[in-house]
Structure 1
Amino acid sequence: MKVFCFKIVSFSMALIVLFSTFSFTMNSHYCGDYLVDSAWFVEAETCGMSVAKDQHSHENSFMKDGCCNDVTWTIDGQDDLKITFEDLTHEQQLFVVSFIYSYINLFEGLKTKNNAFGDYSPPPLIKDVQVLHQTFLI
């Protein structure tokens, strides 16, 4: 049960880090009060009723604004998770280097097999101590 809870917590923490660094944009196009189109990451399609205003035309200057409206929601993720090695203090750099060195050396195999007791034979069994003291494992 403890291992299962640990896996759930670690998975949730990974998702939190992923979604905190994720940024996206949602665009919506409204024509009046009605939603015409909404799109993620790209521009929303218009309804085709947008008014092209000509700066030199006198009649366009008196027209009211069109009924169409574009709404953009932007959620920016964190950008400060990129820590360079130079930003660390001397003690932190020393810890990182020693941790990496010890972690890499953890998986190196032994080059020579230590067989110091290869020629040693156990002492001969003269008496069976369990039978002598009548102590048996059941």
Structure 2
Amino acid sequence: MLKKITHTLLTLVIFVLTTGMTFSAHYCGGNVKDVSFLSVTQSCCENPEGCCHDEAYTIKIENDFSISSYSFDFTQFEIVLPILIELIKVEDPIKAKVYSLRNTIPPPKIQTILSSLQTYLL
């Protein structure tokens, strides 16, 4: 459930950032007075005397997420593969120890009467 929610939120974030998001800010005297995401910001004074101005900001990722071609360098495996083979030691099954259970006593037999404990539905 948590994985689905995380995937949905990340998909939404990528969607918003790739399509772009614009917000506007109203500055009065160099200080931010109003920020709006879906509408135009409201002016703080009725007569703009040059101290107020509006700015619009757009947040958008310009990256292209599609892969046109990809090539893989297999020469690195030629170097690493012999080292990995040496690190992985395969034990010979013939030399492996075989444990014998011929002389051990079997566990005691436990009998349970399940028919007296169960309910049969007809």
**TM-score exceeds 0.5:** no
Task: Report the TM-score range of the alignment, normalised by the length of the smaller protein.
Answer: 0.3 to 0.5
TM-score where L is the length of structure 1: 0.34
